């Protein structure tokens, strides 16, 4: 997340945050601040939240952003039928 955008939202480097899409789906993660990203964009490393039970060290770490991506015709490219993996989200600090 961009340093200036984080400052506007009262978010500091390492804070736990919620990401929420317009449909109300949420994902929890932590923030790393940088000046190397466009100020009103977020980037999420594709680690898929490590949900598999055979990954005991990594389990529960990372952000499962697939919950933020809608799978319907409105969010599908009509030419290729590829899913749109961009999601509009709001970001806010997670309590606790």
**Which tokens in the block code for residue 48?**
């898929």
pTM to 2 decimal places: 0.75
User: How much is the average pLDDT of 63-67?
Assistant: 76
Domain extent for 74 = 1-96
What CATH number does residue 92 fall under?
A: 2.40.40.20
- Distance CA(25)–CA(93), nearest Å, equals 16
Residue 3 has pLDDT above 90, yes or no: yes
- Distance CA(16)–CA(22), nearest Å, equals 20
Q: Which tens digits make up the pLDDT trace of 29-61?
A: 889 999 999 998 988 876 565 666 777 777 767
Residue 68: pLDDT band (50, 70, 90) is confident
More confident residue, 90 or 78: 90
User: Residue 16 forms beta bridges with which residues?
Assistant: 30
Q: What is the pLDDT of residue 30?
A: 87
- Our count of domains for the chain comes to 1
- Distance CA(74)–CA(14), nearest Å, equals 34
Closest CA to 68 of 37, 89, 84, 50: 89
């Amino acid at each position: 997340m961009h340093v200036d955008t984080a400052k506007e939202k009262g978010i500091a480097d390492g804070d736990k945050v919620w990401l929420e899409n317009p449909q109300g789906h949420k994902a929890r993660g932590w923030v790393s601040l940088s000046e190397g990203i466009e100020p009103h964009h977020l980037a999420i490393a594709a680690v898929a939240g490590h949900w598999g039970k055979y990954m005991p060290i990594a389990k529960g770490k990372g952000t499962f952003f697939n919950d933020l991506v809608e799978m319907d015709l409105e969010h599908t490219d009509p030419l290729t039928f590829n899913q749109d993996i961009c999601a509009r989200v709001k970001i806010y600090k997670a309590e606790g």
